[in-house]
């Protein structure tokens, strides 16, 4: 038996937790660069503002009634880990799935799943202050749907329990549910399924397995089985090392200046190196991409250029050196670029890494330099030491006009309270 617990309108709820004046108002949290809507309060949904809607497509009349917030990942990330701590204290197996969702493996847990579910929801709401909903079902795919069902329920706690695939209202719910709402079915697959007459979740559940395997893939067949109540998905293993690292940003405006692009890339390399060392990994390959705005007409560029590093490394200086060479190859005069990113791949653990007979390895003094670098950051903050000069408000930096304070991680951003 699995549970999926999900924070309702997570980013909006985080903003409201520290600014109760937002309660009852239409609130929209914006993507990086204040580009589009990535989280909506119920009031904003009621205004007909769609998820992912670009900011500039919202009519200005409507815009004046909406409270916008730039995304504040320092705040959301911290609250997310608090939610996880509350849950981890109550169930043996936790599988964090995203910043606002967690699967719980309830096998071997109490028989009274309803009481357990209520306790979990209340605990998060009481100890963190964020509203959550909970779905319980025999498979992760059904637990996702039970969670969706719970969200539609009035009152608290929002909880839906489907102890088996024959639960009374389950079939009815699946028949009403567009197939696209099933976990793993995106808009492309939904279109292809519809062409076979499969347009709701119950139809997918009942479709012949051979057909799904033949016309789609094993993934689709697995999804259908999960809908029938047979668990087929592996646990989202926390210990699985990540396979790639990506650091990228859209610019505040379109750019072609070499020095600006080079500055931005240096900044991304610095972040990528930090991520790599935090995971205690080395990278063997590095890629850079420069992207034009795909929404504009005219020649497009987006393909990355890759190169192998001479040996696996987590040295920011080395990463930057090779990345800058790739940038020089990619850059073309007169093209307006919108986004730049660096990617690291062929990752391997630093400890016990095999060095081949012909392959070099990172000199000890470079490793020591990076350890010192990270130690300075831990002690004095991330801006204490940067690769080259990194000025604030450079043209390549993103827009963030509606940023709230990082309430839980920065003393200096706490609002002053007069005594």
Partner DNA sequence: TCTGGGGTCCTAGGACCC
Given the rule CB under 7 A, which residues bind DNA?
31-33, 35-36, 38, 52, 54-56, 97-101, 144, 182-190, 217-219, 240, 242-250, 253-254, 271, 275, 293, 295-296, 303, 306, 338-339, 341, 398
The least CB distance from residue 237 to DNA, in Å, is 8
The least CB distance from residue 166 to DNA, in Å, is 25
CB nearer to DNA: give 219 or 394.
219
Q: Are 183 and 144 in contact (CB under 8 A)?
A: yes
Q: Kindly tell me the burial class for residue 275, based on how many C-beta atoms sit within 10 Å of its own C-beta (0-12, 13-18, 19 or more).
A: middle
CB nearer to DNA: give 35 or 369.
35
CB atoms within 10 A of CB 132: 30
Structure tokens at 340: 């730049």
Q: Three-class SS string for the chain?
A: CEEEEEECCHHHHHHHHHCHHHCCCCEEEECHHHCEEEEECHHHHHCCCCCCCEHHHCCHHHHCCCEEEECCHHHHHHHHHHHHHHHHCCCCEEEEEECCEEEEECCCCCCCHHHHHHHHHHHHHHHCCCCEEEEEECCHHHHHHHHHHHHCCCCCCEEEECCCCCCCCHHHHHHHCEHHHCCCCCHHHHHHHHCCCCCEHHHHHHCCHHHHHHHCCHHHHHHHHHHCCCCCCCCCCCCCCCCCEEEEEEEEEEECCHHHHHHHHHHHHHHHHHHHHHCCEEEEEEEEEEEECCCCCCCCCCCCEEEEEEEEECCHHHHHHHHHHHHHHHCCCCCCEEEEEEEEEEEEECCCCCCCCCCCCCCHHHHHHHHHHHHHHHHHCCCCCCCCCCCCCCCCCCCCCCCCCCCCCCHHHCCCCCC
CB nearer to DNA: give 188 or 379.
188
CB nearer to DNA: give 190 or 370.
190
The least CB distance from residue 264 to DNA, in Å, is 10
CB nearer to DNA: give 4 or 120.
4
The least CB distance from residue 23 to DNA, in Å, is 23
The least CB distance from residue 346 to DNA, in Å, is 8
CB nearer to DNA: give 337 or 407.
337
Structure tokens at 154: 């009035």
């Amino acid at each position: 038996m699995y549970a999926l617990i999900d924070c309702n309108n997570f980013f909006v709820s985080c903003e409201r937790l520290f600014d109760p004046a937002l309660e009852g108002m239409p609130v929209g949290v914006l993507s990086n660069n204040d580009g589009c809507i990535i989280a909506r309060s119920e009031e904003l949904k009621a205004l007909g503002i769609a998820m992912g809607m670009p900011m500039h497509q919202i009519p200005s009349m409507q815009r004046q009634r909406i409270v916008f917030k730039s995304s504040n990942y320092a705040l959301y990330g911290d609250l997310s880990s608090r939610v996880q701590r509350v849950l981890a204290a109550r169930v043996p197996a936790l599988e964090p799935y995203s910043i606002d969702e967690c699967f719980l493996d309830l096998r071997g847990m109490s028989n009274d799943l309803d009481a357990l579910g209520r306790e979990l929801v209340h605990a998060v709401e009481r100890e963190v202050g964020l509203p959550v909903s909970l779905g319980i079902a025999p498979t992760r795919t059904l637990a996702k749907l039970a969670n969706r069902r719970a969200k539609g329920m009035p009152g608290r706690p929002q909880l839906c329990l489907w102890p088996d695939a024959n639960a009374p209202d389950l079939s009815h719910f699946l028949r009403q549910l567009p197939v696209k709402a099933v976990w793993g079915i995106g808009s492309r697959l939904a279109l292809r399924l519809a062409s076979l007459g499969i347009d709701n979740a119950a139809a997918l559940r009942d479709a012949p397995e051979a057909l799904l395997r033949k016309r789609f893939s094993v993934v689709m067949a697995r999804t259908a089985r999960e809908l029938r109540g047979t668990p087929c998905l592996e646990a989202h293993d926390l210990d699985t090392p990540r396979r790639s690292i990506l650091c990228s940003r859209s610019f505040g405006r379109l750019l072609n200046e070499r020095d600006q692009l080079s500055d931005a890339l240096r900044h991304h390399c610095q972040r990528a190196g930090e991520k790599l060392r935090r995971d205690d990994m080395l990278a063997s390959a590095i890629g850079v991409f420069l992207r034009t705005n795909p929404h504009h007409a005219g020649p497009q560029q987006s393909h990355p250029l890759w190169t192998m590093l001479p040996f696996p490394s987590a040295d920011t200086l080395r990463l930057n050196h090779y990345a800058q060479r790739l940038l020089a190859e990619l850059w073309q005069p007169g093209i307006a670029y919108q986004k730049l990113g660096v990617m690291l791949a062929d990752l391997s653990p630093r400890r016990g890494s095999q060095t081949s007979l012909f392959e070099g390895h990172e000199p000890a003094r470079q490793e020591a330099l990076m350890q010192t670098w990270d130690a300075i950051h831990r002690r004095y903050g991330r801006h204490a030491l940067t690769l080259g000069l990194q000025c604030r408000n450079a043209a390549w930096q993103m827009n963030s006009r509606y940023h709230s304070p990082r309430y839980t991680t920065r003393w200096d951003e706490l609002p002053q309270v007069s005594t």
